[in-house]
Structure formats: C-alpha cells, structure tokens
A and B are shown apart, each in its own frame.
Chain A
C-alpha cells in the first residue's frame, strides 16, 4: 500500500477555515490527509503547536492565514510569517525537512486555492515519505571538521 501522509492544517478562523467551509458546501473534494484545526488568527499559531504536531506523528503541517494586509486583527498574519520563516530555519536542525512546513495565504472565498494547496502539499509530503527525522543530514560535526562550524 502506498504511503498516506498525515497533514495537520492550522487555519485562521476568518479566512482559510472559511475557505475550507466553502469548499465543503460547494462539495469540492480535497485530500483527506489534511486534518484541520481552527485558531482565531494565524498569529495565534504558537510554534509549540507545530512541534507538537510533528512530535505526535504529523508528516506535514500546513499553516494558513489571511492575505497580507487583510488580517482581522491587524498584523497577526505578519507575526505568523516571521515565526514561520524562523521555524523553517530551525526544523532541519532537528532532522525535519523544512518543506514539511508550509504557510499559505487563503482568503474566505478561495476554496479553489485551498483545494489546490491541499493537493499539492499532500503530494509533496507523500514524496518526502513518512517523517523519519533522518531526512536531513545534520552535518554540524562535519562542518566542525572543516573549521566552519558556528557552534
């Protein structure tokens, strides 16, 4: 049997979650690999949520919030973007491919974008295989041997 990834979506209540609702009422089909959790704002996405998901068996985590400038709380999505960029730098140090974490801006009307992103991301994660924590060569010691370490 082929590998069926488990993807945790953490969606903003005002946009991406609405888009998922819209996709549902429009009877659009998107991959069942995606399990959605609703938060009030992408700015509420604590990095602990993301790490918790990976710890408990998620193969990928999809964050989604309002388009830049459209945040219901002014700048929550900007905070999310900054945390996301920093998490992308950190995850490989734990042996997790940065591609397993993705952030998308999806407005309440963009059910089609949600469907496309969910499909794309599911395929991408399927390609990466199950989360093994061995997908990334840490190479810290290797770098140290070359005198390039910044430990």
Chain B
C-alpha cells in the first residue's frame, strides 16, 4: 500500500501549491509513489473524507500558509491528529510569511481599513464578516478572523520545516525522497541547506573579503551588473544571513535575496540578524552620515522581517 499524503493551504497565496506543480515530470514519480488523500486546490476531497480516516493514517501532511482564520486552526488540528508527520511547507507556515506582515497592524485596524477606510471601498451599511449569522432561519458560519497571523508551529506540533517563498523544486524533491526512503533527519530539522545563500550563489567568487558601503541602492534605482556580487554593488541582498537551498534563484534573476528561506540554525530572530549585518557594512563612523545612508531603508520592518514578522522577538507581545 502506498503511503497516504495530504496537502493543505491556510493563509497563503497559492504559490506553494504552484511549487508542487512546478515539480514537472518529477510530480508523476511522486504521484506513483504516494496516495494523495487530501489536496483542496487540486483534488475533490472534502473535510469529511479526512475525518473518516484513522488517527495517524496519513503518513505526512504538507501544510502551507500562515494561520489567520479559526478555520485554519480547525483544519490543521484535524490534520495533525490524522498524520504521523507534519511538514510546515513554505515561508508562511514556517515563519508567518507575507500574510504575517499584517501583524504590524492590530486586528481592528485591518478590518476597519479593509471594510471601510480603504479609498476603493464603498460600504455605507458598514457590513462586516460576522462569525455567526442567521439569514432566513439558516445559520451561516464565516470563519473568525483571529487576533494575529501565526506560524504553523504555534498552533500544532510540527515535525519538519521546508522553507521558501515558495520552496524551490530541489528542496521539495529532497524532502519527499527523505520521507519515502526513511532518511529523515531528527525531528524539528529544517529541510534545506545548513549554509547561507551566498554559499550556493554563482556570484560568491566576486564577493570581496570585506564589504563596506557608502550608499545602498534600491532595486528600482539602478540596473545591477549580473556578474558582480549584488551586495558589493550596494543592493540590499540578505543572502549572507539567509539559509540556502534555493540555489540563489533570485540572484540568478538579478534580484537581491529577500530572505524567504529564513534564518540559519541557532538564530532566534532573523530580522535582528539581518539588521545587524546590514548595519555593520555601512562605511561611516559619523552619526549624520549614517543617518543619511539609512534613508535608503525607509521601512526596516518590511525589509528585515518580510517573511518572519510573526516569529520575531518583538511581535505578539504588543497584543
């Protein structure tokens, strides 16, 4: 009997699902080796089908997206019960990801903005989603919008992490092979490289021993030289503090690393580490000049915590 596998999405964009499809021919091999019992985006199984399974009958669930709705909590708790292993799939499930940036605002601020204040919204009756609504005697249930966006492991026990926005083909294939061949590392491991993005980057040989910059460049300001380390050119590339495994895909596309594979082992707060590293390569000891150079970083939270705000030390205690 082929091992049963489930795939589920929570607060996500669908890019992680796309990444599975991006396996191309390799997906045929995967489909031959596993029995997919639940995959809402691509197959017609319902929640009842999952509920009908025995506890632990699913060998592995791959869950992507952050946890933002009460429905997400219910579904991942159900999948946890039915699964031997749970893989947090993609940056959102691992660290909160892009939807996690909403944690920079309070829940009510978000709802007010989306349902009334945004310039493109017209909502004179101020209609809001209500979790428990009755219409003509029928109870309609809309999932509740929770206080904050959480990574998967703050809601259920997670066995393995597959980072990336989305995870690249290589790390997905490696994870599946490890699962099917019984080669999985210790529980809690991140299934990607143990070295930084720079290690995999083809421009690493052009990276000077010591980088010191008088100014930073935003990507829209200048055209990067495709054959020279982007950081050495002044672009805010987070490769040195970001876990590798992606094959430096973005840099190959002439875009600096934005950190979607998250921190390396032993780092508690990715953004703090990224901030520390960027600050340390500024070539100035003069307070005013430093301030001037930092003008190119108008939104440090968005830059350093793009994928990991809900995992940051300072998020969450505000509430």
Contacts and interface: CB of A to CB of B under 8 A. Distances in A.
A41 to B, nearest CB: 13
Contacts of B280: 79, 82-83
B301 A94 contact: yes
Interface in A62-106: 68, 75, 78-79, 81-83, 85-87, 89-91, 93-96
- The binding surface of chain A is classed by DSSP as helix
Contacts of A1: none
Contacts of A55: 313-314, 317
A48 interface: yes
A90 B301 contact: yes
Interface stretch (A5-13, A108-116, A118-126, A134-142): A134-142
B314 A54 contact: yes
B303 to A, nearest CB: 9
Contact of B276 (A46, A94, A95, A145): A46
Contact of A141 (B105, B313, B314): B105
Nearest to A93: B301
B1 to A, nearest CB: 47
Contact of B269 (A48, A141, A147): A48
B278 interface: yes
A90 to B, nearest CB: 4
B23 to A, nearest CB: 32
Given A89-B297, A90-B304, A51 B279 contact: no
B279 A52 contact: no
Contacts of B312: 51
A4 B28 CA distance: 65
Contacts of B302: 151
Nearest to B319: A133
B273 interface: yes
A28 interface: no
A48 B318 contact: no
B300 to A, nearest CB: 4
A85 B290 contact: yes
B118 interface: yes
B164 to A, nearest CB: 22
B291 interface: yes
B318 A134 contact: yes
Contacts of B110: 141
B133 interface: no
Given A55-B313, A96-B314, A134-B318, A85 B300 contact: no
A84 B78 CA distance: 45
A144 interface: yes
B275 interface: yes
A138 B301 CA distance: 12
Interface string B118-155: 11000000000000000000000000000000000000
A137 B153 CA distance: 30
B285 interface: yes
Contacts of B269: 47-48, 51
Given A82-B282, A133-B317, 12 more contacts: A52-B313, A54-B313, A54-B314, A68-B285, A82-B280, A82-B284, A83-B280, A85-B294, A86-B278, A87-B275, A89-B297, A145-B118
Interface of A: 46-48, 50-52, 54-55, 68, 75, 78-79, 81-83, 85-87, 89-91, 93-96, 133-134, 138, 140-141, 144-145, 147, 150-151
26 contacts: A48-B276, A50-B272, A51-B312, A55-B317, A68-B285, A81-B285, A82-B279, A82-B282, A85-B287, A85-B290, A85-B291, A86-B279, A86-B297, A86-B300, A89-B297, A91-B314, A93-B299, A93-B300, A93-B301, A133-B317, A138-B109, A140-B104, A141-B105, A141-B117, A150-B298, A151-B302
Interface of B: 104-105, 109-110, 112-113, 117-119, 267-269, 271-273, 275-276, 278-280, 282, 284-285, 287, 290-291, 294, 297-302, 304, 312-315, 317-318
Give 7 closest A-B pairs by Cβ, nearest first: A133-B318, A93-B301, A47-B272, A51-B313, A82-B279, A90-B300, A83-B279
